[in-house]
């Protein structure tokens, strides 16, 4: 998710989804799916997305819920799935695994105590993108004619570069690292209801009188998913140091601190490994709603849920 403290630096503006009517939006699939996994497991009746053998696919319910508002604006979503994580992210990944294990224990304790609300709250915190989640999401997207890509690394880096290269008009992710990866425009906090917010790189740089390279250095001093920051330095203090003319190396020397692999970390954000990119913007193909309905039936979604939500797709009514 990146360092949420960067929010204090980012230029954020409220934006209706209609602002992107007819546009292409590169969606960080990991964060898009995870938002629905955590939200729906907490607030939706789990009988809707659970098969008789106990397989849970709230991600498919998320496709039903999340895509129609996007498609009604004639937006072409391009889902970008994470590739192999960078080795520098290993500690962050382990930390997340540990947090999920702790949540599982709390969920079990809440279940034993008969506290349903707490159990569902902790269950939401245990969610992860399993192979079944990945596979069924891809299959649902294919049936609906929605393009997707597997990145060579972090999905948020790939979406940022798609916008930079003119292959998309905006990225969609809640990860603040999108700013460090150089996404010119990032849509955040999309829920399908009400306005979202857009995070603007150039305005952020202009407002603080810094370059993209300096923003990355500030991010590294604050800490990212790939490194621990410098104790006592947050975004505002980081800007103050950098705009005073000091380099990160000088600040580290003054503080008696270190950031291991500083050059590598800079390169990670400024020139990330993303894999191959298409030559031209990707487009949607005609959705096969009959097959999508059959797919949802196969995974034992209730007929009433399927019919109610499939009718929300704009091309279904044509």
Final residue of a structural domain among 232, 254, 272: 272
Q: Examine the pLDDT at 119 and tell me if it is beyond 90.
A: no
pLDDT tens, position by position, 229-275: 898 899 999 999 999 998 999 999 999 898 999 999 999 999 999 99
CATH of the domain at 254: 1.10.150.20
| Average pLDDT of the residues in 301-305 | 96
- CATH number (domain holding residue 26): 3.40.50.1010
Q: Is 233 within a domain?
A: yes
pLDDT value at 96 more than 90: no
163-221: per-residue pLDDT in tens? 999 999 999 999 999 999 999 999 999 887 889 999 999 999 999 999 999 999 999 99
pLDDT of 59 above 80: yes
The pLDDT, as a whole number, for residue 193 is: 81
| 198 and 215 assigned to the same domain | no
pLDDT of residue 103: 84
Q: Which domain holds residue 221?
A: 209-272
Residue 72 pLDDT: 94
> 67-76, 114-123, 176-185, 248-257: which has the minimum mean pLDDT?
114-123
Q: Has residue 126 been placed in a domain?
A: yes
Q: Are residues 170 and 239 in the same domain?
A: no
Residue 284 within any structural domain of the chain: no
Alpha-carbon Rg of the chain, whole angstroms? 21
Residues 220 and 82 in one domain: no
| Same domain flag for 193 and 248 | no
Q: 155, 188, 208 — which closes off a domain?
A: 208
Indicate whether 131 belongs to any domain. Answer: yes
- Is the pLDDT confidence value at 88 over 80? no
- Asked if residue 217 and residue 184 are part of one domain, the reply reads no
Q: What percent of the chain has pLDDT over 90?
A: 71
Same domain, 96 and 132: yes
Residues 221 and 121 in one domain: no
Q: Are residues 176 and 219 in the same domain?
A: no
The verdict on 76 and 187 lying in the same domain is yes
Model confidence at 111: pLDDT above 90: no
Same domain, 231 and 118: no
Residue 318 lies in a domain: no
Same domain, yes or no, for 116 and 32? Answer: yes
Counting the structural domains of the chain, the total is 2
76 and 189: one domain?
yes
Residue 279 belongs to some domain of the structure: no
Query: Model confidence over 161-174: pLDDT tens digits?
Result: 999 999 999 999 99
Domain final position from 164, 180, 208: 208
Per the model's pLDDT, the better-predicted residue between 5 and 62 turns out to be 62
């Amino acid at each position: 998710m990146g360092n949420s403290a960067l929010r204090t630096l980012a230029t954020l503006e409220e934006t209706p989804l209609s602002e992107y009517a007819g546009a292409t939006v590169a969606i960080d699939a990991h964060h898009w799916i995870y938002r629905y996994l955590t939200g729906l497991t907490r607030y939706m009746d789990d009988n809707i997305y659970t098969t008789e053998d106990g397989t849970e696919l709230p991600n498919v319910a998320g496709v039903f819920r999340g895509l129609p508002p996007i498609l009604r604006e004639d937006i072409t979503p391009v889902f970008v799935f994470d590739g192999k994580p960078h080795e520098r992210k290993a500690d962050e990944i382990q930390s997340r695994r540990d947090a999920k294990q702790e949540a599982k224990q709390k969920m079990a304790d809440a279940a034993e105590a008969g506290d349903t609300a707490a159990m569902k709250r902790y269950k939401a915190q245990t969610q992860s993108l399993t192979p079944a989640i990945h596979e069924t999401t891809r299959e649902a997207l294919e049936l609906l004619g929605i393009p997707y890509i597997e990145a060579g690394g972090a999905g948020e880096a790939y979406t940022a570069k798609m916008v930079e290269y003119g292959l998309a008009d905006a990225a969609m992710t809640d990860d603040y690292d999108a700013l460090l990866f150089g996404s010119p425009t990032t849509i955040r906090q999309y829920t399908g209801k009400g306005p979202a917010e857009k995070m603007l790189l150039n305005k952020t740089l202009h407002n603080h009188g810094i370059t993209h390279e300096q923003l990355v250095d500030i991010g590294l001093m604050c800490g990212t998913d790939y490194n621990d920051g410098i104790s006592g330095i947050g975004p505002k203090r980081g800007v103050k140091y950098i705009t005073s003319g000091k380099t990160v190396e000088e600040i580290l020397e003054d503080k008696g601190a270190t950031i291991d692999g500083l050059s590598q970390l800079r390169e990670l954000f400024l020139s990330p490994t993303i894999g191959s990119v298409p030559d031209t913007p990707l487009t949607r193909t005609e959705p096969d709603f009959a097959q999508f309905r059959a797919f949802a039936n196969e995974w034992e979604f209730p007929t009433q849920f399927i019919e109610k939500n499939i009718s929300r797709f704009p091309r279904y009514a044509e």
